Amino acid sequence: MKSLLLLLAAGCALAQQYDLLLQGGRVIDPRNNLDGIMDVAITGRTIAAVAAGIPAAQAKTVIDVRGLTVTPGLVDMHVHLFHTTGAKDAWAGDNSVDPDSFSFRTGVTTMVDAGSAGWRNFETFRHSVIDRVQTRVFAMINIAGLGMMTNAVEQVKSEFQPDQIVKLAQKHKDVVVGVKSAHYEAPDWTSVEKAVEAGTGANIPVMVDFGFFRPERPYYQLVGEKLRPGDISTHMYRAAAPYMDENGKLYDYLKQARARGVKFDVGHGSGSLVLRNAVPAVAQGFYPDTISTDLHTLSMNGPMIDMQTTMSKFLAMGMPLTAVIKASTWTPAQIIHHPEVGHITIGANADVAVFSTMNGEFGYGDVAGGRITGKQRLQCELTVMGGVIMWDFNQRAGSDFRKLPPAYGIREGIDVIVKPPARGR
């Protein structure tokens, strides 16, 4: 009898080949052209199976995600995370945020810091932030030596040293994914040209925040001539960018730039998305290649709010859900040359986000007081990174406490329940 029980126990253990099973959701994975009702099984840190009808008995933990949307963990390609310097009013300082405080609760498992640190202080950024958080963090190195410490340091041409960035990019190739040019005020192209020189030397893309629009260096020339295929124009829907001609038609230079391989990133931020440009562009099919937040302390409490709100904003503009998810997962993964993230493939990192879709009337704003309404809003219900549940909005992985053992929650070897003495009569 004892042998039979042992065999049955072994059989049950063998049958439970998965650690976690997300059951019955609408799986949207643009990299694998998946869009349908199916299950996602995870073993250890990797995706083990994606199919319909995986038996619940094969998993140790089963979470019912019927009626929800299951996506790869989101990739936010423009954030600011160098919060450890103590510098006041600086993106490389108090304006940056702690990654783990904002990522998982919105379905984000991968963040890309967009040039907060330059070649002089990048290694401090790595040691004090990148290597100490649970969120997967990549970084673009600012062409300015001290990065975004102050606006003034981003204007010092002698600090634009491509060879220093190439050295750092080679030394830290596991996390460095690009070069950043930002906030440049002068009428020449020095910041952009030096960033492109660094990107060419390191074989990584360049992201340009055009900063100050000047007649001597027009935006159409940036995307039409200066940027290489694979380089990124962020803050794509900024107010000063010319989008529509006098007849309300999208300018051809935008389509031509995209055709030659330039990538367009949202980078919403606190001053970089106006609906006057975004709504007609989306209506005419000029979607962003990548949806990103430009998350920092000045944008998080404004109309940007977070990644899921920014995604919902594009749904309200008419961008299809599948396109929104692709622009928030697989496309940014490809642009930063890290194809190991942004998808749900068997054997891939088990980074998964689960969203509910709220229906009603929701308002979405831009950075200049503009507003639109939409009928849907995404809400992150669950975030899994490397097979570990990092965010569980409705505690779907929990159990009814009434069905748990009486001593659940007791830390073995640490806690001891000492009952009070009985009351006297």
DSSP track, 51-112: ETT--GGGEEEEEE-TTSEEEEPEEEEEE-----S--TT-TTTTTS--GGGTSGGGTEEEEE
In the predicted structure, residue 8 carries a pLDDT above the cut 80? no
Find how far residue 286's CA is from the centre of its chain.
21
| Residue range 230-250, pLDDT digits in tens | 999 999 999 999 999 999 999
- Which tokens go with 20? 């976690």
What was the pLDDT predicted at 74? Answer: 98
Q: How many distinct helices (H) and strands (E) make up the chain?
A: 10, 15
Instruction: For tokens 């001539």, name the residue.
Output: 225
In the predicted structure, residue 14 carries a pLDDT above the cut 90? no
What was the pLDDT predicted at 4? Answer: 43
Contacts of 352 (CB under 8 A, 6+ apart): 22, 40, 42, 47, 70, 71, 72, 73, 344, 382, 383, 384
Mean pLDDT of 64-73: 98
| Residue range 114-166, pLDDT digits in tens | 999 999 999 999 999 999 999 999 999 999 999 998 888 889 999 999 999 99
Q: State the DSSP code for 33.
A: T
Find how far residue 21's CA is from the centre of its chain.
24
What percentage of the chain has pLDDT greater than the value 70? Answer: 96
- Which tokens go with 209? 């925040």
| Residue range 349-360, pLDDT digits in tens | 999 999 999 999
> What domains sit in the chain, N to C, each tagged with a CATH number?
73-348 (3.20.20.140)
What was the pLDDT predicted at 91? Answer: 86
| Residue range 174-187, pLDDT digits in tens | 999 999 999 999 99
Mean pLDDT score across all residues of the chain: 95
Q: For residue 9, name the pLDDT band (cuts at 50, 70, 90).
A: very low
Q: For residue 417, name the pLDDT band (cuts at 50, 70, 90).
A: confident
| Stronger pLDDT, 10 or 185, i.e. the higher one | 185
CA distance 174 to 167: 13
CA distance 155 to 176: 23
- Which tokens go with 310? 């920014």
Nearest to 71 by CA among 26, 38, 114, 39: 26
What was the pLDDT predicted at 6? Answer: 45
Mean pLDDT of 196-200: 98
Q: For residue 425, name the pLDDT band (cuts at 50, 70, 90).
A: low
In the predicted structure, residue 10 carries a pLDDT above the cut 50? no
